[in-house]
Amino acid sequence: MNVTEPVATPTQHASAHPSAFTPPEHAVVGRPGRTRLAVLNAASGVMLRLMPRIPDPVKRLFLRRRTVTVDGNTLDTTLQFMLALMHLGGLGGLVASNDLAVARAQLRTLARFIDGSIVVGIEDLTVPGPAGDLRARHYSPVNAAPVDSSRKRSSVRPEPLLVFYHGGGFVLGDIETHDVLCRLICRDGAAHVLSIDYRLAPEHPVPAAVEDAYAAYRWAVDHATELGADPARVAVGGDSAGGNLAAVTAQLARNDGFPAPALQLLIYPVTNHFSDDVTRSTTLFADGYFLTKADMDFCRARYLGATALESSDPRISPLLADDLSGLPPALVLTGGFDPLRDEGTQYAEALAAAGVAVDHRQFGSLIHGFANFFPLGGDSATATAELVSALRAHLTRT
């Protein structure tokens, strides 16, 4: 196999009550200076904006016609090209710096370079959380059924609502880093999307994010009509860490007897933080495929380090819940070159074994984060279009 070394970037969030716990630093990235980051950002911006226009034959020529094949899957040419450019620029993975403010800003900068130019209705608002108001963004389809001045629907059936939790290892990411993906889901999925800016670690270790996610879902169910959405079709979803929060929220709603989500959209979810459980994919894709083992260790230490909860607690590791029966249908998406591939597959299999309706789709040529890379083209665009189409179909049948 020919493996091209690669890497990536991160974003911003508010801090609150710093803990006395001091997590270990990232094993690779260090603390790059502002000048170096500025140069990298300028180059990255140019290349990411040009990438959709570069023909595959040119990308293959740059890659010297080498391919990357692991476990019978061949890496998408566009992503291989992107990873190679990142490696040349000295970028290693999701986390760009041990300085969290820099790492968070970097992820936001990367997201700005990947612009899908998608027009939908946008409204920034706040929803009540357990420790104060949470920032949120409501995306509404431009052709949504009309709402009168009292915020009541016409006789046309209103669109469903997806409560979305962004990824970023519970440490990085925010509404802005996932804005383009939420716009796509809203427009092509014909659904309202409520993106939640939950509290991040290490300022707010687990269970803060879980509590925020669940509170936001309960608020969305109670206020769906005010948002112009169908209160009978409120789904939860997210990518990576956000997929974890969506899965945990579905479990908490079931446990509390609260109305269940119409669907769980789990995009390459984190489902098992228990350190003794090492999967084949975490070993195979520990480095060079955007999300690295060093990134995961960095984020895990900050999310779990100051908590009294065990990593096997289902609020942290939904795969390890004693009972998965009675949960809502799940649409689970995994990538063939993602270190989280196997735990996502394990969760899909465990849900199905418990009698839950599961639609699991694995995209063999893709890496972690592919849903955010759809504007670059290639297999990421194809897979993300399929993801949104499947989401729309599931919510239409509800």
Q: What is the pLDDT of residues 208-224, one digit of tens each?
A: 999 999 999 999 999 99
Q: Comparing 56-70, 123-137, 146-160, 241-255, which segment has the lowest mean pLDDT?
A: 146-160
Q: Which of 174, 197, 239, 338 is catalytic?
A: 338
Is the pLDDT at 189 greater than 90, yes or no? yes
Helix-helix angle 208-223:241-256, to 10 degrees: 60
User: Which whole number is the average pLDDT over 233-239?
Assistant: 98
pLDDT classification of 145: cutoffs 50, 70, 90: low
Q: Per mean pLDDT, which of 6-15, 141-150, 189-198 is the most reliable?
A: 189-198
User: Last residue of some domain: 113, 142, 177?
Assistant: 113
Which residue stretches of the chain are H helix?
34-50, 56-62, 77-88, 100-113, 179-189, 208-223, 241-256, 280-284, 293-304, 341-353, 378-397
Judge if 225 and 126 occupy the same domain: yes
Is the pLDDT at 5 greater than 70, yes or no? no
Residue 350 located in a structural domain: yes
Strand 69-70 and strand 73-74: the pairing is antiparallel
pLDDT, position 39: 78
Judge if 216 and 353 occupy the same domain: yes
Helix, coil or strand: residue 282: helix
Is the pLDDT at 148 greater than 60, yes or no? no
Is the pLDDT at 52 greater than 50, yes or no? yes
From 20, 126, 108, 81, select the one nearest 290 (Cα to Cα). 81
Residue 11 located in a structural domain: no
C-beta separation of 364 from 260 below 8 A: no
Assigned token pair, 208 = 């803060």
Residue 16 located in a structural domain: no
The CATH number of whichever domain residue 239 belongs to comes to 3.40.50.1820
pLDDT, position 244: 98
Residue 359 pairs in a beta bridge with 331
| The amino acid at 380 | S
Q: Which of 44, 97, 195, 240 is catalytic?
A: 240
Q: Which domain holds residue 54?
A: 34-113
Residue 13 located in a structural domain: no
Give the HSE-up count for residue 19: Cα atoms under 13 Å, Cβ half-sphere. 18
Strand 132-140 and strand 121-129: the pairing is antiparallel
Instruction: Walk across the sheet containing 229-239 and list its strands.
Output: 121-129, 132-140, 192-197, 159-165, 229-239, 264-267, 330-335, 358-363
User: Last residue of some domain: 113, 134, 168?
Assistant: 113
Judge if 98 and 140 occupy the same domain: no
Judge if 191 and 305 occupy the same domain: yes
pLDDT classification of 31: cutoffs 50, 70, 90: confident
Residue 22 located in a structural domain: no
Judge if 368 and 286 occupy the same domain: yes
Is the pLDDT at 149 greater than 50, yes or no? no
Judge if 95 and 243 occupy the same domain: no
From 168, 175, 194, select the one nearest 100 (Cα to Cα). 168
Is the pLDDT at 32 greater than 90, yes or no? no
Q: Which of 368, 379, 380, 394 is catalytic?
A: 368
Judge if 224 and 368 occupy the same domain: yes
Residue found by looking up tokens 């984190």 in the block? 270
User: Which whole number is the average pLDDT over 132-154?
Assistant: 74
Residue 20 located in a structural domain: no
Residue 258 located in a structural domain: yes
How far is 3 from 129, CA to CA, in rounded Å? Answer: 45
pLDDT, position 222: 98
Judge if 252 and 282 occupy the same domain: yes
Count the domains in the chain: 2
pLDDT classification of 274: cutoffs 50, 70, 90: confident
C-beta separation of 281 from 351 below 8 A: no
User: Last residue of some domain: 90, 113, 136?
Assistant: 113
Assigned token pair, 106 = 């970097």
338 is catalytic: yes
Q: Comparing 3-17, 43-57, 189-203, 311-325, which segment has the lowest mean pLDDT?
A: 3-17
pLDDT, position 34: 72
Judge if 293 and 379 occupy the same domain: yes
Is the pLDDT at 226 greater than 50, yes or no? yes
Judge if 337 and 379 occupy the same domain: yes
Judge if 387 and 255 occupy the same domain: yes
pLDDT, position 246: 99
Q: What is the DSSP letter of 92?
A: -
User: Which whole number is the average pLDDT over 146-164?
Assistant: 71
Q: What is the mean pLDDT of the chain?
A: 90
240 is catalytic: yes
- Angstrom CA distances, 114 to 48, 91, 158, 179, 370, stand at 7, 17, 31, 10, 12
Residue found by looking up tokens 């975490």 in the block? 282
pLDDT, position 260: 98
Residue 15 located in a structural domain: no
Is the pLDDT at 350 greater than 60, yes or no? yes
Judge if 226 and 97 occupy the same domain: no
How far is 44 from 35, CA to CA, in rounded Å? Answer: 14
Q: Comparing 9-23, 198-212, 355-369, which segment has the lowest mean pLDDT?
A: 9-23
Is the pLDDT at 35 greater than 90, yes or no? no
pLDDT classification of 144: cutoffs 50, 70, 90: low
pLDDT, position 20: 53
pLDDT, position 91: 74
